[in-house]
Amino acid sequence: MARVYNWQLGREMSFWYPEARPQRQFAAVFDVNKCIACQTCTLACKTTWTSGKGQEYMLWNNVETKPYGSYPLAYDLRLLDMLDAQEWNGGRYEGRTIFEAAPAGERVLGWRPEDQDYAFPNTGEDDCAGQVDRGSFMSLPHAGWFFYLARICNHCTYPACLAACPRGSIYRRAEDGIVLVDQARCRGYQECVKACPYKKVFFNPLTGTSEKCIACFPKIEQGMQPQCFANCIGKIRLAGWLSRPEQARADNPIDYLVHIRKIALPLFPQFGLEPNVYYIPPVHSPEAFNRQLFGPGAGEAVRAYRSAPGDPDLAGLLCLFGCTEMMVTRFRRRGDTVTGLAADGAEVVRVPMSEPVYVRPAFDSKQGLWRRNCP
């Protein structure tokens, strides 16, 4: 085991291989508050990549309802249970990661789902936490809550799948940090399936190999966002490049949200993988639940997000989500307009932060008629 630095934990940790950062790191921000679980992302991915034989059950992208939804079944609860209670001390994680908690003979603490665990991807859908008593809808905020969690491979800096593969069949691309299973080398041992805490590697019984999200790298190489980003009708997603914390740039959208404003947080940072998909936590779920999913910064992130209406730069950047299929690597706001730029400074997209409002009087004096909302 090597010692590597995991900035999400605020400390060094043990990992199977030495630290090796890519030239630039693919990363994404998902705004949980905007997701409506329409599953358009899921279908965009499914039709693009996993319509083959043996891939029937695979959802490289899925959207689950929290707190009760999960795909595969209880993927998160089972590992949290195995890892047991762990401690954060401020921004520093004092507990054990899944690498540090690996039992004898194993590289990673993990478990492997059975086929039935994949059979209920809609479990818990739209089920809210708490009791919906008679009349409870009359009071605000509602006691019941749920939210939708869209998930893809996190293209982790310290991937457990990569660490667990005894053949070295999984690699991170040096140019963009995208994690791939080498389909020529994989022998289908399913060690990666067991190790990935997010369960985003899938065994294909009809090719005999394990397969996973490839971040639509052919599109990334063309400067475009992946399919699940471009097809998201809720405009919850933004793909880009993430700098190391000490090199964060205020005009880099991902850096701004993750490092500078700290409103976008990793999913289960305590597992120790330094995942590169970041979530703006839901504003209406209990902070304790958010902290378990997104780490100790969840409360502050929600407060910062709620301040967006009075924060033009943050509000402007949030308006850039889902406005173009192209990757936006820089942004700037001038007045009421936010502009997304390519790496060379060329304008990619320009978005007004507020749309014009037209007020039609209830009485049409020209026609001498009262306007009605319905015919």
Binding site for another protein (CB under 8 A): 47, 49-57, 104-107, 112-115, 117-118, 164, 166-168, 183-191, 193, 202-209, 211
Quick one: 47 or 89, whose CB is closer to another protein?
Answer: 47
CA-to-CA distance for 268 and 160, rounded, in angstroms? Answer: 13
CB closer to another protein, 16 vs 271: 16
Rounded CA gap, 320 and 350, in Å? 8
- The size of the chain, in residues, is 375
Whose Cβ is closer to another protein: residue 142's or residue 185's?
185
Whole-number Å distance between alpha carbons of 11 and 86: 15
Q: How far is the CB of 186 from another protein (least distance, A)?
A: 7
Cβ 105 to another protein, closest distance in Å? 4
Residue 190 Cβ, how far from another protein at the closest point, in Å?
A: 7
Q: What is the DSSP letter of 264?
A: -
| Closest distance to another protein from the beta carbon of 286 (Å) | 33
Cβ atoms of residues 181 and 170 within 8 Å:
yes
Listing DSSP states for 12-74 in one string gives: EEEESS-----SSEEEEEEEGGG-----HHHHHHHHHH--STT-TT--SSEEEEETT--SSTT
- For residue 46 the two structure tokens come to 């499914």
Nearer residue to another protein within complex by CB, 166 or 361: 166
Task: Extract the tokens encoding 190.
Answer: 């399913």
- Give me the least distance between CB of 189 and another protein, in Å please: 4
CB of 201 to another protein, least distance (A): 10
Q: CB of 48: closest distance to another protein in angstroms?
A: 10
Closer residue to another protein in complex, CB, 166/368: 166
Q: For 66-86, b where at least 16 C-beta lie within 10 A, e where not — what string? A: bbebbbbbbbbebbbeebeee
Is 302 within 8 Å of 283 (Cβ atoms)? Answer: yes
How far apart are the C-alpha atoms of 142 and 132, rounded to whole Å?
9
Q: Please identify, using beta-carbon distances, which residue of 52 and 130 lies nearer to another protein.
A: 52
Distance CA 35, CA 124 (A): 16
Q: Which CB, 203 or 321, lies closer to another protein?
A: 203
